[in-house]
Amino acid sequence: MPLYEFEHAIPLQEPEKQAIAHGITEFHANTFHAPRYIVNCRFIDVSHGPLSDTFVGGKRRQINRLFVTLRSGTGRTADQLRGLMDSVNAVWDEIVAGGGWERQLRSVYIKGCIDAAKEGGFHLPLPGYFAQWVKDNTVQFQRLAAEGDPDMVQLVEDIESRPEFQE
């Protein structure tokens, strides 16, 4: 949580996917003061096969689009959601767009339907409450990181480098 699911009708190379996931993760973590660890990106190739059956206005289209699933009931404003969509589009455009409409991210949809989340064995707080969650669980995160859990290693590094988690 959150989950950014890209349906791409054009081939994306691994470096492009890495760059998009990094850009989205940085944006989300910094904008919503959340650990990077919770940001999930998924890339689904819809260029052929049954997943390619997309119709827009009743006509078959092969388009690139993004579905963002966020926590519900968090009180994000319409301006924040528009900013999220514009920022995601900017990340895509910087890495992928160019060469015609086929390379554009044509649609972005935000769904707020994740009511609760648990990742890595920890119940996640609502957005806006990550600082306390980090404070309450840092010792456990450090123990799991020391045991070699790669997600917890990343989370501990994130905690140690972000001022909002140092209080």
What pairs with residue 162 in β-bridges?
none
Relative to beta strand 64-71, strand 105-114 is parallel
CB atoms within 10 A of CB 88: 22
Nearest to 88 by CA among 138, 24, 22, 156: 24
Question: Which amino acid appears at position 160 of this protein?
Answer: E
For 33-63, write each residue's pLDDT tens digit. 899 999 999 999 999 888 888 888 898 888 9
**64 in Cβ contact with 105 (< 8 Å):** yes
At 99 the pLDDT is: 75
- In this structure, the answer to whether residues 17 and 98 fall within a common structural domain is yes
Domain that includes residue 11, residue range: 3-124
Question: Which amino acid appears at position 66 of this protein?
Answer: L
- In this structure, the answer to whether residues 70 and 45 fall within a common structural domain is yes
Tell me what the mean pLDDT of segment 110-132 comes to: 89
- In this structure, the answer to whether residues 85 and 30 fall within a common structural domain is yes
- In this structure, the answer to whether residues 90 and 64 fall within a common structural domain is yes
List the CATH number of the domain containing 117. 3.30.429.10
- In this structure, the answer to whether residues 153 and 118 fall within a common structural domain is no
For the cut 80, the answer to whether the pLDDT of residue 73 exceeds it is: no
Question: Which amino acid appears at position 81 of this protein?
Answer: L
Compute φ and ψ for 108, nearest 5 degrees.
-130, 125
- In this structure, the answer to whether residues 142 and 60 fall within a common structural domain is no
For the cut 90, the answer to whether the pLDDT of residue 128 exceeds it is: no
- In this structure, the answer to whether residues 141 and 102 fall within a common structural domain is no
**Residue 104's Cα: distance from chain center in Å?**
19
- The domain total for the chain is 2
At 127 the pLDDT is: 84
- In this structure, the answer to whether residues 47 and 78 fall within a common structural domain is yes
At 49 the pLDDT is: 83
- In this structure, the answer to whether residues 160 and 90 fall within a common structural domain is no
> For residue 80, what are the CA distances in angstroms to 14, 87, 166?
30, 10, 25
